[in-house]
Structure 1
Amino acid sequence: MVTLWFGGTFYTMNREGEKVDAVVTERGIIKALGNVSELEQTFGSEITEKVNIKGGFAYPGFVDSHLHMIGHGERLIRLDLSEVDSAMTMKELLMKKVEEAEAGDWIIGEGWNENNFSDRKIFHFTELDEIAPEHPMLLKRICRHALLANSKAMELAKVQIETPDPQGGVIVRDTDGLPTGYFLDEAQELIKQSVPEDSRQYLHKALTKSVDDMLQLGLVGGHTEDLSYYGSPDRPLQAFEEVIDGQKKKFRAHLLVHHQVAKTVEQEFAKKFSEHPYIELGAVKMFADGALGGRTALLSSPYNDAPETNGVAIHSEEELAEIIKFARSIKRPVAIHTIGDLAVEYALNAIEKYPLIGELPDRLIHVQVLRPELVERMKKLSLILDIQPSFVATDFPWVEERLGYERLPLAFAWKALLEHGFVCAGGSDAPIESVNPLVGIHAAVTRRKLSEDHEGYLPDQKLTMFEAIQLYTSGSAAAINKQDRFGLIKEGFAADFTILEKDLFTLKGNDIIDANPIMTVVDETVMYEQ
């Protein structure tokens, strides 16, 4: 089947400003570009279908390079606390959820952020007990590197005053050593392990909700990490197979594999998914540190606003190196969560010790705090940098308190990274941030919140619109070594399009958010239409 796409503007993203009036596709591949009359004359009777994009502006299909797709679906169907702007409002929402719950149900909330509260309040377990005396409660912070639990949840988890901090985690305690109900990084697992395992139907529902939402927002794919959070990895893998069936639903899912389940996935599922047209296995994922919000990102010198700590190493340097050694043994690249500069240093030490094997590049995820000498070391390696532009909008200005001004020149320094020659891929880390790619593009070019009107945080690090769009197109393609097939509107490339109502290259400020997807095309198939 040969399809003519016409009636709008197609930005090729091959070079800035390059655009055409129409595209011809066949069997999921772009066959030719040009204007309508030329293409109709050339292909004539071969054309079996014509699709009018109704004055829209088409770009190569946007791909989120780092998120948790099932987690995003959970945020859509669970209690979402991400927009709450006061402790009182959060309490009211929790009380309402308790009223609706059946006896013994867990009360699970997603996305609270004390930095949105005027008093920056973090609830104590006794306050949560007043809200839910008969229900175990687990409330995930926006960064997902911290959670709150009430006494019922801690009782089920057998957390007591004598319970030691696990490696890579912290049980926050009061002056008497009693746990306060605040758990950081690996300490969260003490509580999470007591939550009943989600049913397969639940995972299917959450992933369906996620994919539908992403398609509606103009995303044709996502690089996602979900395989270690829901019991055996076969459970989320089954959900991906069932939801992305290639018939009713097409979506390009690239699955990062957490190191804890990588051996099982490699032995039992690698061959199967090597032949799947829409789902593939990727790098071995690991965490080197935590997050700036909870002061668990690993810094080379103490936090400016908490000089007693410089963060948390999730693994020792030796353990991190062993994980990477294992990844190399199965010929996989690695994807390492590195927010603090010392975490980046540990990651580079291990990667240099065990160099890359295979075609896919390694990737460092977040790289929010760097030092000049680390940048120079990074240049010598085959690395893609996975950045999340939205973190600038949500982390500033409070992150300046955490880091102090001396570290800011190479903090969230997306422009500098591009100027150093790095290929950067753009993601959301959803459900931590909004999965909407227009929100990420807005943050990349304005470096401020939607509610603000100023020149931007560290404005010299603003990206151009062309650079921002590249994060979600050619950048995401390069992250999986498919820059020769995805990320451009070009002959021989995949027929994946994100079609917007407005021209991004003419929009400024908050108008970017109103560009509005009108059509999302995956593999020559319209998967969403306004």
Structure 2
Amino acid sequence: MGTLWHNGTFFTMSQEGEVAEAVYVENGLIQAVGETEKLERQYKDRMTSRRDVGGAFVYPGFVDSHLHLIGHGEKLLRLDLSEVASAAEMKQLLRKKVLENKEDEWLFAEGWNENNFSDRKIFHRSELDEIAPDQPMYLSRICRHAALVNSEALKRAGISSATPDPPGGVIVRDHQGEPTGYLLDTATELIKQVIPPVSEEYIRRALMTAVDDVVKLGLVGGHTEDLFYYGGFLRTFKQFQEVIDGKRRKFRAHLLIHHEALAEMEAAGVKEREISPFLELGAVKIFVDGALGGRTALLRDPYTDDPSTSGVAIHTEEELLKLVKLARAKGRPVALHTIGDQALALSLAAIQSYPLADGEGRDRLIHVQVVNDELVEQMTKLPVVLDIQPRFVVSDFPWVMERLGYDRLPHSFAWKSLLARGLHCAGGSDAPIEPVDPLLGIHAAVTRRKAGETHEGYLPEQKLSVFEAVTLFTRGSAYASNKEKERGQIAPRFTADFTVLDTNLFTCEPDQIVKANVMMTVVDNTVVYTRGGDNDAKS
């Protein structure tokens, strides 16, 4: 009937430094936390199993507050360019992929980042044509707010010099007005419309691949946004129901709803927020701007390294207001993708114009990379939670300093300042854009540099303590999904979700954080991953 977890150090995360020897669980819920002998005596008549964690260190289950699960699975299945360090290496990998592809098959690749190249090269379509003259090519940039395509892909989409930029997007052109093959934000949709739809089997395989991967990294759940990109809400939602069924796979998936998926969701009669203990529907996702990498994040002032642009607004101010109003009419909070300070200003104005009703939860502001004092003050007066991605500091610096310039840096990626103002923050990866490993996120929040580097970190005054960093992925993620009274702590009446490591993150050297091994991942009192052993299918 009940399980005693013991022989470890259990960090409750209820307050800093609080630990316990053992935890007693019934029906997937923690009943008591305390000394081993005391719990054994108290529950001896109800205890049916014991779990010895072998002296390991047990944390509330880590949850990624912002990722794209199916996209992460696609990254694992497709050609991954995220670690490529030169244009020559990227070209070599693409040539190899062309030979592996079937004739006329689309060539997809994920994650290229010109900032990793010494020459910052962005391929021209003519260069891609040399690699794949007949196969259409779609190469998603690391931020997923830009893509490279070849002439065959442009041809199939009907994009020419006469094609106007779509609202919220840019078709990059050469000095003669011809498309270069580089597309920004909504301009990528022109290509996606002619890409053959993926099958349900493909969606299922990508999702299974993703879930099976992330549990190995200690994640017990994730707040994910996938329900619009794979042929519509229903066929994607169906795969979540089948893959995360609570039997073959236990994983707590909190699903954001793209605003364009709302109508199909409602027409299908899907209205409940909690579908099962492992699936729940969350806020309405709305993109307000793009990303700093492609200079499409919307800034109040022009980019320092390109004064010709201040970024891209995905929606007009009026359109954004209508979308927030629509979400409110459905009784839902919004999750607004906002990176630049002007995008944040528009986002705050919209949610202030249509405030949440009591009981509707909290609005989510995703990324919040560039802010100012006035915007911070506004946020402190609103029921919002900030979804931050600590790994962006590691990936975006030092080149982001060129984009923003000195004056904006003190208010950029300023996690410590936001926490100091009492704002609630949750930690995520934005996978597949960044590695999904939560230990990398915790390390980045603590050091603000890559492991092995010896400098003091980028904007070192914004470093978090280890407790603050772990809180992002435990209590912070729970707060973001309005589950702070049942998830994110090892405490009575909380879910028995644990991340078990061989390392004490609070006492080890900072660079040892990324070397910690996940010994066990536990969801609903069920071991879903064991290092070096078979997963446990029993509760």
Structure 2 letter corresponding to 1:349: A
Q: Are the aligned partners of 2:275 and 2:281 in contact in 1 as well (CA < 8 Å)?
A: no
TM normalised by structure 2 equals 0.97
Q: Which residue of 1 aligns with 2:369?
A: 368
SS in 2 for 1:13: coil
Q: Which residue of 2 aligns with 1:6?
A: 6
Structure 1 letter corresponding to 2:104: G
Q: Which residue of 1 aligns with 2:433?
A: 432
Counterpart CA distance in 2 for 1:451 and 1:155 is: 46
Q: Which residue of 2 aligns with 1:459?
A: 460
Structure 1 letter corresponding to 2:214: M
Q: Are the aligned partners of 1:359 and 1:481 in contact in 2 as well (CA < 8 Å)?
A: no
Counterpart CA distance in 1 for 2:273 and 2:199 is: 23
SS in 2 for 1:265: helix
SS in 1 for 2:160: coil
TM normalised by structure 1 equals 0.99
Structure 2 letter corresponding to 1:439: L
Counterpart CA distance in 2 for 1:119 and 1:389 is: 26
SS in 1 for 2:276: coil
Deviation digits for residues 220-271 of structure 1 (CA, Å, limit 9, x no counterpart): 0000000110112111111101110101110000000000111221342534
Moved more, 356-365 or 299-308: 356-365
Aligned pairs for 1:94-109 (under 5 A) are 94-109=94-109
Q: Which residue of 2 aligns with 1:81?
A: 81
Counterpart CA distance in 2 for 1:406 and 1:396 is: 15
Q: Which residue of 1 aligns with 2:136?
A: 136
Q: Are the aligned partners of 1:501 and 1:516 in contact in 2 as well (CA < 8 Å)?
A: yes
Counterpart CA distance in 2 for 1:270 and 1:67 is: 22
Aligned pairs for 1:183-202 (under 5 A) are 183-202=183-202
Counterpart CA distance in 2 for 1:224 and 1:501 is: 28
Counterpart CA distance in 2 for 1:132 and 1:238 is: 35
Deviation digits for residues 285-324 of structure 1 (CA, Å, limit 9, x no counterpart): 0011000000000000000000000000000011000000
Moved more, 509-518 or 259-268: 259-268
Do structure 1's residue 518 and structure 2's residue 515 form an aligned pair?
A: no
Q: Are the aligned partners of 1:270 and 1:281 in contact in 2 as well (CA < 8 Å)?
A: no
Aligned pairs for 1:397-412 (under 5 A) are 397-412=398-413
SS in 1 for 2:268: helix
Q: In structure 2, do the counterparts of structure 1 residues 272 and 383 end up closer, same or farther at CA, with 3 Å as the change threshold? A: closer
SS in 1 for 2:17: coil
Structure 2 letter corresponding to 1:464: S
Q: Which residue of 1 aligns with 2:157?
A: 157
Report deviation, 1:200: 0.4
Counterpart CA distance in 2 for 1:507 and 1:104 is: 52
Q: Are the aligned partners of 2:111 and 2:140 in contact in 1 as well (CA < 8 Å)?
A: yes
Q: Which residue of 2 aligns with 1:93?
A: 93
Q: Which residue of 1 aligns with 2:330?
A: 330
Q: Are the aligned partners of 2:82 and 2:111 in contact in 1 as well (CA < 8 Å)?
A: yes
Mark the runs of 5 or more structure 2 residues left unpaired by the alignment.
532-539
Q: Are the aligned partners of 1:58 and 1:497 in contact in 2 as well (CA < 8 Å)?
A: yes
SS in 1 for 2:48: strand
SS in 1 for 2:344: helix
Counterpart CA distance in 2 for 1:467 and 1:275 is: 31
Aligned pairs for 1:215-294 (under 5 A) are 215-271=215-271, 274-294=274-294
SS in 1 for 2:45: helix
Report deviation, 1:507: 1.8
Report deviation, 1:514: 1.1
Structure 2 letter corresponding to 1:277: P
Counterpart CA distance in 2 for 1:501 and 1:126 is: 51
Report deviation, 1:480: 1.1
Structure 2 letter corresponding to 1:510: D
SS in 2 for 1:373: helix
Q: Which residue of 2 aligns with 1:391?
A: 392
Deviation digits for residues 99-139 of structure 1 (CA, Å, limit 9, x no counterpart): 11110111100000000000000000000000011210000
Counterpart CA distance in 2 for 1:295 and 1:16 is: 40
Mark the runs of 5 or more structure 1 residues left unpaired by the alignment.
none
Counterpart CA distance in 1 for 2:453 and 2:269 is: 47
Counterpart CA distance in 2 for 1:415 and 1:132 is: 47
Report deviation, 1:276: 1.7
Q: Which residue of 1 aligns with 2:346?
A: 346
Counterpart CA distance in 2 for 1:146 and 1:275 is: 34
Aligned pairs for 1:196-215 (under 5 A) are 196-215=196-215
Q: Are the aligned partners of 1:30 and 1:492 in contact in 2 as well (CA < 8 Å)?
A: yes
Aligned pairs for 1:288-303 (under 5 A) are 288-303=288-303
Counterpart CA distance in 1 for 2:55 and 2:372 is: 46
Counterpart CA distance in 2 for 1:204 and 1:451 is: 38
Runs of 4 or more consecutive aligned structure 1 residues displaced over 4 Å after TM superposition? none
Moved more, 372-381 or 418-427: 372-381
Q: Which residue of 2 aligns with 1:56?
A: 56
Counterpart CA distance in 2 for 1:280 and 1:118 is: 44
Q: Are the aligned partners of 2:370 and 2:412 in contact in 1 as well (CA < 8 Å)?
A: yes
Counterpart CA distance in 2 for 1:359 and 1:277 is: 19
Moved more, 228-237 or 315-324: 228-237
Report deviation, 1:450: 2.5
Sequence identity of aligned pairs in percent? 60
SS in 2 for 1:519: strand
SS in 2 for 1:270: coil
Structure 1 letter corresponding to 2:440: V
Compute the RMSD of aligned alpha carbons: 0.9
Do structure 1's residue 65 and structure 2's residue 65 form an aligned pair?
A: yes
Report deviation, 1:451: 4.7
Moved more, 504-513 or 416-425: 504-513
Q: Which residue of 1 aligns with 2:28?
A: 28
Report deviation, 1:15: 0.7
Do structure 1's residue 423 and structure 2's residue 411 form an aligned pair?
A: no
Q: Are the aligned partners of 1:11 and 1:57 in contact in 2 as well (CA < 8 Å)?
A: yes
Counterpart CA distance in 1 for 2:353 and 2:499 is: 41
Report deviation, 1:273: 5.8
Counterpart CA distance in 2 for 1:329 and 1:359 is: 11
Report deviation, 1:326: 0.1
Deviation digits for residues 21-71 of structure 1 (CA, Å, limit 9, x no counterpart): 110000000011112111111111311011111111000011000000000
Counterpart CA distance in 2 for 1:218 and 1:20 is: 20
What count of residue pairs does the alignment treat as equivalent? 530
Counterpart CA distance in 1 for 2:15 and 2:418 is: 20
Q: Which residue of 1 aligns with 2:535?
A: none
